[in-house]
Chains A and B, each alone.
Chain A
Amino acid sequence: MSESYLPTMTEIRGRLAAGEVRVEQVVRSCLDRMDAFEPSVRAFITRTDEQALSQAREMDRSGPTPETLTTKPLWGVPLTLKDVLTTRGLRTTCASRMLADFTPCFDAEAVSRLRNAGAVILGKVNMDEFAMGSSTENSAFQTTANPWKLDAVPGGSSGGSAAAVAARMGFAALGTDTGGSIRQPAAFCGIVGLKPSYGRVSRYGLVAYASSLDQIGPMTLTVEDAALLLRIIAGHDPKDSTCADQPVPDYPALLAQRSDLSGLRIGMPQEFWSKEGLDLDVAERCAQSMAVAEKLGATCVPISLPHTPYAVAAYYIVASAEASSNLARFDGVRYGYRDKEAANLIEMYRNSRSKGFGEEVQRRIMLGTYVLSSGYYDAYYKKAAQVRRLIQQDFHQAFKQCDVICGPVTPTTAFGMGEKTADPLQMYLTDIFTISLNLAGLPGLSLPVGLGERSGLPVGLQILGPAFREDLLLQVGHVLEHHLPRLPLPTGIAQ
Chain B
Amino acid sequence: MSISTDDAAKVAGLARLNPAPEKITQFADQFNDILDYMQKLNELDTSGIEPLYTPVTHETVFRDDEVLKEYSREELLGNAPETDGNYFIVPRIVG
Interface residues of A (CB under 8 A from B): 101-106, 198-199, 212, 236, 238, 241-242, 244-246, 307, 309-310, 312-314, 316-317, 324, 328, 331-338, 340, 342-351, 353-354, 357, 359, 362-363, 365-370, 373, 380, 382-390, 392, 424-425, 428, 439-442, 467
Say yes or no: B31 contacts A370, CB within 8 Å. Answer: yes
Interface of A is mostly: helix
Question: Do the beta carbons of B79 and A212 come within 8 Å of each other?
Answer: no
Asked if B67 CB lies within 8 Å of chain A CBs, one says: no
Q: Which residues of A contact B14 (CB under 8 A)?
A: 369, 373
Q: Assess whether A334 is in contact with B17, with CB atoms less than 8 Å apart.
A: no
- The reply to whether A310 and B33 form a contact with Cβ atoms under 8 Å apart is no
Q: Taking CB as reference atom, which chain A residue is nearest B82? A: A338
By beta carbon, the residue of chain B nearest A361 is B17
In the complex, the answer to whether B41 meets A336 with C-beta atoms within 8 Å is: no
Interface of B is mostly: loop
Could you say which of B8, B41, B56 contacts A366, with CB atoms under 8 Å apart? B8
Contacts of B43 in A (CB 8 A): 310
Whether A335 lies near B49 (C-beta < 8 A) is: no
Contact with B41, one of A242, A387, A440 (Cβ below 8 angstroms): A387
The answer for the CA separation of A363 and B75 in the assembled complex, in Å, is 33
Say yes or no: B41 contacts A363, CB within 8 Å: no
User: What per-residue 1/0 map shows which CB atoms of B37-52 lie under 8 Å from chain A?
Assistant: 1101111101001111
Chain B residues with Cβ below 8 Å from A104 are 79
Q: A332 to B88, alpha carbons, bound, how many Å?
A: 10
Interface residues on chain B, size class:
35 or more
Question: Among residues 1 to 38 in chain B, which have CB atoms less than 8 Å away from a CB atom of chain A?
Answer: 3, 8, 11-19, 23, 27, 30-31, 33-34, 37-38
- A390 / chain B contacts, CB cutoff of 8 Å: 44, 46, 49
- Interchain CB contact (< 8 A) of A105 among B11, B12, B17, B76: B76
With contacts A350-B17, A389-B50 taken as known, whether A336 is within 8 angstroms of B79 at the C-beta atoms is yes
B17 touches A333 (CB 8 A): no
**Which residue of B11, B12, B18, B80 contacts A334 across the interface (Cβ within 8 Å)?**
B80
- Which of the residues B11, B38, B71, B81 comes within 8 Å of A332, measured between beta carbons? B81
